[in-house]
Amino acid sequence: MFRLLASFLLVLITNYSFSQQIKVVDNETNKPIENVYIYEKYNSILTNEFGIADLSEFKEKGLIYFQHPSYQNLEMNFIDLQIQNFIVKLHSNIFPIQEVVVSANKWEQNIKEVPLKVHKIDKAEITHSNSQTTAELLKSCNQVYIQKSQLGGGSPMIRGFAANRVLLVLDGVRLNNAIYRSGNLQNVISIDANSLESAEVILGPGSIIYGSDAIGGVMDFHTIKPLYSTSGKTNTYFKYKNRYSSANNEIMNHTSYNIGKERLSFAGSITYSDFDDQKMGNHGPDEYLRNEYTIKENGTDKIITNSDPKSQKQSGYNQFNLLQKVRYKASENTDLLYGFHYTTSSDIPRYDRLIQYKGDNLKYAEWYYGPQTLQMHNFQLTLKKANLLYDSFKLTTAFQNYKESRHDRKFSSTTKRNRSEKLKIYIVNADAEKKLSKSTHLFWGAEMTHNRLRSKGHSTNIEINTFEEIASRYPDKSKYSTIAFYSNFKRKLNSNWTLNTGIRYSHIWINSELDNTYYSFPFTNLDLSTGALNGGLGVTYNSNSGWDFKFNASSGFRAPNIDDIGKVFDSEPGKVVVPNKDLKPEYIYNVDFNISKNFNQKFFIDINAFYSFLDDAMIRSDYSFDGQNTIIYDGVESEVQAIVNADNAKVWGINFQCIAKINQNFSATANMNYNNGEYKDGSPVRHIAPMFSSFKLDYKSNKLSSNIALEYNAKIANKDLAEVEKDKAYLYAQDMNGNPYSPEWLIVNWNNNYQLTNSINLNFSIENIFDKRYRPYSSGIAGVGRNFVIGLQYQL
């Protein structure tokens, strides 16, 4: 009788255990992991998008196994599962076997079948980097070089291209607009790194899928997505995160949440970051020191001595980000998603202008960007019911309200110039995927954009507080519109070979009217209508021995925008850029070759080489304005320049990466990027970064993730500086001949994440341990000195 009762209780307990739902999450981020293969002797199941699986069919006692290509294998018994409340944590694998990317065709694909060079930044990497801004996050992946004119900045350089020659995409919507300039841009910091789920960087042209501006590469960012409930209960998630950094007294607070029912879910986040003046390192060039700065005292500008020259006075700012999403499952095949993005900042000092001298005095008393504000509404409809035209279809509509402004006043002047821009941007994207056969996929889509610009200018007399209209930066009420169609074809020829080919046609219209109130333009109409056709062909070969080969030949383009054809501005002291209505698109022709090998999950090597030819390049060049080579601009006789299709350039380079698994806990990663380029006259291309590399030693255990990282930048000698950089000597150190150059530098960082409990994660880092004083190439502000970073993340 006792044995029978015991057997009955054992069966009852066993069945109770088996009926439990199990949740599988990432050990570092606590994020759910989809498609984990769970099996035992007689049964198997995959986790859903929420990391959940039902083990009610698992009747056998014994071990249960967990497998996922991006994570280390795990085996557990039911007693262990009960102890852990049926939450299983998997440790990431340093060698993901079949990583999935979205950016290549806007639909999920195995990266092994994509001929483009794509680097994925997953949630674990985002969490571990603990970056202050999204610019810093891109820098941490060691594939993108970041230039900074000011602390509130970060201009990505990819393969010798930057600004409006690289494309930013946020949740499927392009951020590049009609006034993205060819100089350095800081717009990437508007994206909140704390709200990102993942990011992907395409190295090289991405114009087939993304259109204009995707010449050097594409940075595709994906923010958190609302998750539904699968258990009948409300799925809730809450995270709080804060961080303090000593080098600029950063204080960051972030919260995010998810509330999900079976058909309706909400997700959102709020982040506020405040940065004080940034402190540079102790050991390095004296030219970078901030020895003096300006203040206004009793109505008079004064230059005072900086008591701490390592403190980069007047560089601090703050930033606010808000994200809210609502998701509704209308049916099993229809998903609706609305997203609201809002970001703004305080005034952002233009630090590189504030350290500029005119004679013995600082040139500017004030130079700052006004609050950079982006408000975006994004609605997405996804259909997954197959028909003649598609198996999956995605319609994305977006509206952006964008504002930026510039404000400057010269030292001892009573006149302050103010120029502001407001853009209303409308975007519609349609993207579809159709499986034509077991081995053939067709991707097709269309895009329409429309930009409406308001541009104003006025000066203020700061003594008597009077206002006067001045020339705006751009022609007011300008319009910029595009329409495009694309198709991409993928065929798996056999188990080893995959073929990809695609084509896109884009058409661009610009309508602007110049105002002759302030300048006597020889023309007033700036209408432009032009088209661009581009395509590509790529193959991948995945050998049975583990060697993977990729080859891709493609073209890309950048169409002229309002900034190119209609701007009047001072590009540098004594030079002024004027409008040019005869601009045409510039084209890039690119070939890529990639080889990689995974040696039994112990050692991984990846080598990528490319060559690009930029034709009809839009560059600043000497120009005549109404027959004159010089004009008076802002009271100064200035040489006339314009953006013209007057050049071509060749750019080439190599990227090397290797990863070594030393043992179960230790691994090492090395990266090296070398690019070079020149225009047809042999002069260097401006946005070619120096050779930069990194080495990282990682340690991972159940609770602790730690790494020591070395970052190295090679020297750029004066003879190798672009001419436009030589004219900005105040940004650079001086060589033994007194000429500007960019010195080499090496910094060492130590980063630690400790999982204190299932809910609490602690971060402690020391950046630039040896307090090196350095300034990245072409930057106006020096990098952080020794920087202590402390962070806390609490998650429910």
User: What are the tens digits of pLDDT across the range 567-590?
Assistant: 876 656 677 888 888 889 999 999
Band of pLDDT at residue 540, cut at 50, 70 and 90:
very high
Q: Is residue 446 a part of any domain in this protein?
A: yes
DSSP 619: E
Among 90, 122, 146, identify where a domain stops.
90
Structural domain containing residue 606: 222-795
Q: Is residue 45 a part of any domain in this protein?
A: yes
Q: Which residues contact 432 (CB under 8 A, 6 or more apart)?
A: 389, 390, 392, 393, 394, 443, 444, 445
Alpha-carbon distance of 418 to 405, in angstroms, equals: 7
Band of pLDDT at residue 98, cut at 50, 70 and 90:
low
Among 90, 119, 141, identify where a domain stops.
90
pLDDT at 70 over 80: no
Q: Which of 151, 162, 154 is nearest to 138 (CA)?
A: 154
List for the chain the helix, strand, coil content (%; round to 5): 10, 55, 35
pLDDT at 14 over 90: no
Return the pLDDT at 569: 64
State the maximum Cα–Cα separation within the chain, in Å, rounded to a whole number: 111
Per-chain mean pLDDT for the chain: 91
Q: Which residues contact 124 (CB under 8 A, 6 or more apart)?
A: 26, 28, 29, 92
Q: Which residues contact 607 (CB under 8 A, 6 or more apart)?
A: 594, 595, 596, 654, 655, 656, 657
Return the pLDDT at 6: 42
* Backbone dihedral angles phi then psi of residue 111, each to the nearest 5 degrees: -60, -25
What is the average per-residue pLDDT within 727-748? 97
* Backbone dihedral angles phi then psi of residue 354, each to the nearest 5 degrees: -75, -15
What's the alpha-carbon Rg for the chain, to the nearest Å? 28
What is the average per-residue pLDDT within 76-94? 83
What is the average per-residue pLDDT within 291-319? 97
Q: Is residue 737 a part of any domain in this protein?
A: yes
pLDDT at 96 over 80: no
Q: Is residue 184 a part of any domain in this protein?
A: no
Band of pLDDT at residue 99, cut at 50, 70 and 90:
low
What is the average per-residue pLDDT within 276-286? 98
Alpha-carbon distance of 549 to 544, in angstroms, equals: 12
Q: Is residue 203 a part of any domain in this protein?
A: no
Return the pLDDT at 176: 97
Long-range Cβ contacts of 571-576 (<8 Å, 24+ apart): 571/183, 571/620, 571/641, 572/724, 572/727, 572/728, 573/356, 573/727, 574/636, 574/637, 574/638, 574/639, 575/638, 575/639, 575/641, 576/631, 576/633, 576/638, 576/639, 576/640, 576/641
Return the pLDDT at 572: 64
For residue 100, which amino acid is it? V
Q: Is residue 470 a part of any domain in this protein?
A: yes
Band of pLDDT at residue 5, cut at 50, 70 and 90:
very low
Compute the half-sphere exposure of residue 343: CA atoms within 13 Å on the CB side of its CA: 24
pLDDT at 8 over 60: no
Q: Which of 51-60, 126-135, 475-484 has the lowest mean pLDDT?
A: 51-60
* Backbone dihedral angles phi then psi of residue 3, each to the nearest 5 degrees: -65, -40
pLDDT at 172 over 80: yes
Q: Is residue 19 a part of any domain in this protein?
A: yes
pLDDT at 13 over 50: no
Band of pLDDT at residue 517, cut at 50, 70 and 90:
confident
Return the pLDDT at 281: 98
- What's the gap between Cα 769 and its chain centre? 26
Return the pLDDT at 270: 98
Return the pLDDT at 49: 72
pLDDT tens, 441-485? 999 999 999 999 999 999 999 999 999 999 899 999 999 999 999
CATH at 309: 2.40.170.20
Among 71, 90, 109, identify where a domain stops.
90
CATH at 57: 2.60.40
102 neighbors 108 (Cβ within 8 angstroms): yes
Return the percentage of the chain with pLDDT > 70, whole number.
95
What is the average per-residue pLDDT within 510-538? 87
Higher-scoring residue by pLDDT: 97, 346 = 346
Return the pLDDT at 59: 62
pLDDT at 3 over 70: no
Winning range, highest mean pLDDT, from 208-212, 235-239, 310-314: 310-314
Higher-scoring residue by pLDDT: 7, 331 = 331
Higher-scoring residue by pLDDT: 154, 128 = 154
The count of domains in the chain is 2
What is the average per-residue pLDDT within 758-766? 93
Alpha-carbon distance of 368 to 459, in angstroms, equals: 15
pLDDT at 716 over 90: yes
What is the average per-residue pLDDT within 674-684? 94
Q: How many residues does the chain have?
A: 796
pLDDT at 16 over 50: no
Band of pLDDT at residue 1, cut at 50, 70 and 90:
very low
Q: Is residue 166 a part of any domain in this protein?
A: no
CA dist 436 → 395, 439, 441, 443, 488 (Å): 21, 8, 6, 10, 13
